Amino acid sequence: MTYTIQVFKQILLLTYHAVLYALYDLPLFRVYPVSKLKSAAYKHLLGCNIDGACFIHSGVRFINPRKIHLGENVSLMYGVMIEARDKVYIGRNCLVSPGVLITTGDHELANLTPKSKSVTIGENCFIGSRAIILSGVNLGKNSVVGAGSIVTKDVPADTLVAGAPAREIKKLVLDDDVWTLSGMRSRNVAECGSPND
């Protein structure tokens, strides 16, 4: 009997999440200021750990939102999917572009036994469109991931990576002047130096 009740609760929870996601895709919720309401709904209704205001746009999907932590001023564009079998931490002032996949799930090749490793994205990171961040990856502070990249290994701070698999393209030289288009970053990329310099 207890198992039946647990299954029933799980079905109700999944139905609730499906209805909530469907509501978020309505045109009313695509208006920019309403995204703050959406982040509050993700925090209070789905149990996602969110520090301050975040911008969660239409079509964002969380799998297991209770294991996701979003820092202040994180912006998740449409089509972002975060699959959190293990913990996912996204630091403050990060911008995640459309269509990005962040996954913690993996499996053993020999017997397909599932496993998972946490993903950590440092502060002030930018992830380009359609990039994939695989399990166990740590992105350092102020790192940039190029569009369409597949990140399989840790990325050091202040580094631009791109490709499949992603590799270091440039070290980013940052200055302390505060100037941004969106007002989200705390530091600005002043110049990029080649790793061969």
Active-site amino acid positions: 107
For residue 183, what are its two tokens?
């007002």
Side-chain half-sphere CA neighbours of 170 within 13 A = 11
Return d(Cα 143, Cα 166) in angstroms, integer: 12
CA distance 35 to 54: 8
161: CB partners within 8 A, 6+ apart: 143, 144, 145, 146, 149, 151, 155, 167, 168, 169
Tokens 């239409």 sit on residue = 58
The label of the residue with tokens 């939102």 reads: 65
Asked if residue 155 lies in contact with residue 64, where contact means CB atoms within 8 angstroms, the answer is: no
Distances from the Cα of 7 to the Cαs of 13, 17, 97, 104, 146, in angstroms?
10, 15, 36, 25, 42
